[in-house]
Structure 1
Amino acid sequence: MSRVAYVNGRFVPHGQAVVHVEDRGYQFADGVYEVWAVFDGRLADYQGHMDRLDRSLDELRIERPMSRGALTSVLRETIRRNRVREGIVYLQVTRGTARRDHAFPNPEVAPSVVVTARSMDPAVAEAKAAKGVAVITTPENRWGRCDIKTVGLLPNALAKQKAREAGAAEAWFVDELGFVTEGASTNAWIVDAEGVLRTRDTQANILRGITRHGLLALAREAGMKVAEGPFTVDQAKAAKEAFFSAASAFVMPVVSIDGAKIGDGRPGPIATRLRELYLENARNTAA
């Protein structure tokens, strides 16, 4: 069937889903977004994504376009109309449409809201996770508020393209001190030489990943040693395991970094176990 999008109060065919040329998301990247994984037609990590959406809107001083209940109904209806059982749903909220001016519109305008959904084949993701993927590193060149999930993603897009051209699945940003911050669209993890599960702390200008947050809790519940703090590229290359996490990737084992083999070059037991734990928990708690 043809895909359907929600745009500012209307469900329309995907090919006709448009916003005004002076929408501030288009002209200034003045907006935020969220992505939920969909399991059996239901929203994974529902509360965490909603809470982060509220925070992002507050940080940019964008008014909520509707109540949480109404927005949830829109998300679920978009999923239903697209017949998505396994996949993702994407939400974007911008400050709205106004005459082009860097300052906020005065008087205020209504925010613009776009929702799309698409199916994803779980078998494809499982095959990729079973084999593992490659990542490359790239210098950190993003703005100082990566904790806000904005649509200003040009550095991320350039990093992702660099990874694709290198035959890799992801690019990890590296700050001026040589520490890995996060991926172009994911959070970065390693299992160090002592068997400690490590990921960068959220004080270091990284996104407060919802999947990341859930994995930390699951890892601690499983008795794994966990540390939130910086690690260098050399430490990552010398690690027993590496992986990245995101709402659409869950837990994806990394088997090489900049061409250097990680561990024995195969997905490790901790990454594999965390993927199993996350998927089980996400399916059981999806709303």
Structure 2
Amino acid sequence: MRTVYVNGDYLPENEAKVSIFDRGFLMADGVYEVTSVIDGKLIDFDGHAKRLERSLNELNMPHPISMDDLLKVHRELVRINEIEEGMIYLQITRGAPDDRDFVFPDPETTPCTIVLFTQNKPGLADSPAAKKGMKVISIEDQRWGRRDIKTVQLLYPSMGKMMAKAAGADDAWMVEDGAVTEGTSNNAYIVRGNTIITRQLSNDILHGITRAAVLRFAKEAQMTVEERAFTIEEAQGADEAFITSASTFVMPVVEIDGAALGDGTPGPVSARLREIYLDESRKAAI
């Protein structure tokens, strides 16, 4: 039985409750973050905290908890639930007014709802999937225009993952105006020689915390980074491809829309970046 955090209280998961009028439930009016835990420590907490603040600001949503207190809650949940490897999910919504309404409630009378829970994932860092790579398909990107805000509007990404599963693949890369935006829950990359290519930051994609760290580590390792759009056809002709996210770190992609990349096995660049990312993240974990 996990212990979870709801609006200031630590509770058994079966006793945790949120109002049916909560705007996260009725309107998807909320934001979230997922922070990985390795060796019982938080990976890149500061990056996730800063992005959380940005998401709240972009939606004109109050900040219901200080970053120092949020760190304490994360650490306490890791301790109580004895998490060595896994994730902490955080969600903040605009709260639960007295009734359903499209108009934002008054933040003075309707406090935000804040929920955190852990997910125990033994073997997260040493994932077998990273050794064999993953297969992706391409789908049309039909999400709303503000993908840079990490909102709880995840229906279409969920549909994308189900499309991939139905096609015998592991995930989907979304395509808009002929170019790849990102994966359903991750940033997308291709590799040509020693050059890593990934879409530039804008409202079109999530500003990934793992993305920022991996690109920094790549430059420090004397790899070239190009931030630009690329097509599925270009990706199919690349030497390698991979994704990044807080839950997968650096995950090789070995097949795109049925076309194998190289010999169909993870390449040296993605393998090296995963190794560097995990090593450096462990050193900086808190």
Equivalent positions of 1:76-95 (< 5 A) are 76-95=75-94
Cross-structure match for 1:60:
59
- TM-score of the two chains, using structure 2 as the length reference: 0.96
Cross-structure match for 1:217:
216
Uncovered stretches (5+) of structure 2, i.e. residues with no partner: none
Shift of 1:68: 1.1
Task: Report the more deviating stretch, 112-121 or 7-16.
Answer: 7-16
Shift of 1:123: 6.4
Q: Is the 8 A contact 1:181 1:204 kept in 2?
A: no
Cross-structure match for 1:149:
150
Q: Is the 8 A contact 2:85 2:124 kept in 1?
A: no
RMSD: 1.3
Cross-structure match for 2:169:
168
Shift of 1:125: 4.8
Equivalent positions of 1:1-287 (< 5 A) are 2-98=1-97, 99-106=99-106, 108=108, 109-122=110-123, 125-176=126-177, 178-192=178-192, 194-203=193-202, 205-287=204-286
Deviations 1:156-185 (A, max 9, x none): 111111112222221100002x10000000
- TM-score of the two chains, using structure 1 as the length reference: 0.96
Deviations 1:83-133 (A, max 9, x none): 101111110000000121001013641100000112112268521101111
Q: Secondary structure at the match of 1:155?
A: helix
Deviations 1:222-250 (A, max 9, x none): 00011000000000011100010000000
Rounded to whole Å, the distance in 1 between the matches of 2:268 and 2:68 is 40
Shift of 1:199: 0.5
Q: Secondary structure at the match of 1:145?
A: coil
Q: Secondary structure at the match of 1:163?
A: helix
Seq. identity, %: 48
Uncovered stretches (5+) of structure 1, i.e. residues with no partner: none
Q: Which runs of 4+ in 1 moved over 4 A?
A: none
Letter in 2 for 1:263: G
Rounded to whole Å, the distance in 2 between the matches of 1:15 and 1:257 is 41
Rounded to whole Å, the distance in 1 between the matches of 2:76 and 2:125 is 26
